[in-house]
Amino acid sequence: MKIDRKNPMPIYHQIYRDLKERIEGDLISGEYLPSEDELADQYGVSRLTVRQALKNLMEDGIIEKQRGKKSKIKEIKNIENLSQLKGFTQDAMLLGHTPSSIVLANKLINVPDQAFDKFKVPRGSKVIFLNRLRLLDGIPYAIEMAYINVSIDVKLLDVLDMDMSKSSLYAFFKDEVGLKLEYADETIEVVQANSENAKLLGIQSGNCILLRNRFTYTHEGQCIEYVQSYYRGDKYKFNIRIRS
């Protein structure tokens, strides 16, 4: 890029925008940018000007820098829009990722206490417990524990015989059972990963992770699932638009 010195935009901001475009286009997460001296030579400016551009990139969370080292491109987090009701698979594909799953459990268990009032079933009723490690592009992103209310439709029991490492639960609800999902109530909080979760997610025990609890309802107002999920805090963030 050639600096346009007649442009009213500050030179450091021109460099900032150029580097940002390069990072979003050709460069890869984890790579190092050229040194301040090298960038100053490339752009024909002072190190002070380059330093300001890098400072803005750092404030935006695009790069990180350790003392005495080059600037490193931070890994871009997956962003999920919370204003739409979508499953993990659908959301990942919309964002251009390749989703996959490792099934940790797929069986009938007693309805958990957290879902008893929502499911409106007798004590001792059975629900499907589907526990999966969720991956994006082969990297562990989340642990998902879904409790499915089979009292809504007997066809939901087919989940027990399905290969849920490749199947979308929400697509099954819609296409195979004919259920229309209307809305979900969800809470999100920050917790620390225990040793078991940390091992599955490939992080250190005690790291911060996001705990999501979701109750999903059909068009008829029936609670079809309760899902408890743990998401890696270093790879995931959520977006929501709030209107006045």
Q: pTM above 0.75?
A: no
Residue type, 236: Y
Mean pLDDT of 45-60: 88
Residue 134: φ, ψ to 5°: -100, 130
Residue in this structure with the two tokens 């270093």, named with its chain if needed: 234
pLDDT in the model for residue 95: 59
3-state secondary structure the chain: CCCCCCCCCCHHHHHHHHHHHHHHHCCCCCCECCCHHHHHHHHCCCHHHHHHHHHHHHHCCCEEECCCCCEEECCCCEEEECCCCCCHHHHHHHCCCCEEEEEEEEEEEECCHHHHHHHCCCCCCEEEEEEEEEEECCEEEEEEEEEECCCCCHHHHHHHHCCCCCCCHHHHHHHCCCCCEEEEEEEEEEEECCHHHHHHHCCCCCCEEEEEEEEEEECCCCEEEEEEEEEECCCEEEECCCCC
Q: What is the pLDDT of residues 151-175, one digit of tens each?
A: 999 999 999 999 999 888 998 999 9
Mean pLDDT of 139-161: 95
Across the chain, mean pLDDT equals 86
Q: Determine the Cα–Cα distance for residues 212 and 177; give it in Å rounded to an integer.
A: 25
Q: 2 versus 42: which is more confidently predicted? A: 42
Q: Determine the Cα–Cα distance for residues 77 and 234; give it in Å rounded to an integer.
A: 7
pLDDT in the model for residue 5: 82
Q: What is the pLDDT of residues 59-100, one digit of tens each?
A: 877 788 766 678 888 765 555 656 566 666 666 566 566 778
With pLDDT > 70 as the criterion, what percentage of the chain qualifies? 83
Mean pLDDT of 37-58: 90
Q: 26 versus 206: which is more confidently predicted? A: 206
Mean pLDDT of 135-144: 88
